[in-house]
Structure 1
Amino acid sequence: MPILPIVTYNDPVLLKKAEEIEEDSPELQTLIDNMLETMYNADGVGLAAPQIGRSIKLFVMDTDAMIEDGEVPYGPMVFINPLILEKRGNKVPLEEGCLSIPEVNDKVFRPETVVIEFFDRDFNKHRLEAGGWTSRVIQHEYDHLEGILFLDYLSAFKKRLHKKELEEIDSGNKKVKYPIVPKQKSE
């Protein structure tokens, strides 16, 4: 399975709402496999279709490496046309990063629990209530489908602190250990 290049900070596909997926197809199943392989290759725990340049409502995740005592291991999961039905609990600050914003991390406040409805890779409908890291990753990846980056939750001051790092990513000068979509050099 090929490793797909990941789109990075300031690419327009990351800033727009994704489209619904109408039907299953062999191409979709191949894309799902490739996204999982790409996520694992980059040592990620989640990857949304916009991050590989596809503006469709699809993300994959595997949070088993992050779960803490008492959390449920789910293994690799596929979310097609997800819809968050509810977020509840206290907003908890946890350090987040993103494969599309390499090596930039900061605390983001998110509700502890999420209830999400989605289709799996076989187009079976599910409803999942999750807490802990699983909830965090679901919310982060879901945001990608809405054109929202974790940076959007940061204060203006925090964003200024990351300005140099973001400029390096945006210029295409950031070196990472996984394939990324090359930035277009302006003349």
Structure 2
Amino acid sequence: MILPIIAYGDPVLRKKATAITDGYPKLTELIENMWDTMYNASGVGLAAPQIGKPIRLFMVDATPFADDEDLSEEEQKQLDGFKRVFINAQIQEETGKEWSFNEGCLSIPDIREDVNRKDTITITYQDEDFNTHTETYDGLAARIIQHEYDHIEGILFTDKLSSLKKRLLKSRLDKISKGKIQIDYKMRFPNLKKGR
């Protein structure tokens, strides 16, 4: 089932998400619905706060980037079929040099900006069966994970921009929160005026 994506301005996107246990109600159904929602919006990642649930759950599918001709053959191989669910994730370490990449967010449609992030991360998380993994990722895979991880920490990619950039984007962000935007997927807007 396709769920509405929560738009910029909703307080749920600013909450630090809470951990869950394997007894979380209807978790399998929630994960399926999140995959459906993400693919419907042509996303490569989705975090539970983006569908209104402040829990430590996010997913990534970097496969669309595997065809990017700007990436090395090794990077393309790494991203091909890279599909994971991350539950109760904790980034242990971010290393390497910072690099810039143009990011967007399903909760902030039609805004894309260059964001600097460290190249390599080590993350501990649980999968859908609550098996614990500690893994290291680099490049684009690390970046997608960092972006989604920020969501469960209550951070948006726009928080990482310069104060000048933030000021320049303010009116566009306000319009998003009020639903004054054209999008082709279901969204819920926190400041939408009813009956207008």
Q: TM-score, normalised by structure 2?
A: 0.90
Give 1:78 shift.
Answer: 0.2
Aligned counterpart, 1:132: 139
In structure 2, C-alpha distance between the alignment counterparts of 1:25 and 1:182, rounded to whole Å: 27
Aligned-residue RMSD, C-alpha: 1.5
Partner of 1:18, secondary structure, is coil
- Paired letter, 1:89: G
- Runs of 4+ residues deviating >6 angstroms: none
Alignment of 1:142-161 (within 5 A): 142-161=149-168
1:162-181 pair list within 5 angstroms = 162-181=169-188
The residue type paired with residue 62 of structure 1 is D
Q: Which residue number in structure 2 is paired with residue 45 of structure 1?
A: 44
Q: Secondary structure at the match of 1:162?
A: helix
Preserved CA contact (<8 Å) 1:24 1:123: no
Aligned length: 186
| 1:26 to partner: Cα distance | 5.9
Cα distance per residue 1:95-141 (max 9 Å; x no partner): 01000000111011000011101001111111121111110010000
Between stretches 18-27 and 42-51, larger displacement belongs to: 18-27
SS of equivalent residue, structure 2 residue 54: coil
Alpha-carbon distance between aligned partners in 2 of 1:87 and 1:155, rounded to the nearest angstrom: 21
2:96 to 89, 96, 99: 89
Counterpart check, 1:118 vs 2:155: no
Three-state SS of the structure 2 residue aligned to 1:50 is helix
The alignment partner of 1:66 has SS state of: helix
Instruction: Indicate if the aligned counterparts of 2:178 and 2:189 stay in contact, CA closer than 8 A.
Output: no
SS in structure 2 opposite 1:56? coil
Moved more, 146-155 or 63-72: 63-72
The AA in structure 1 aligned to 2:187 is I
For 2:11, the equivalent position in structure 1 comes to 12
Percent of pairs identical after alignment? 47
Residue 25 of structure 1 and its aligned partner are, at CA, apart by 4.7
Structure 1 gaps of 5+ residues are none
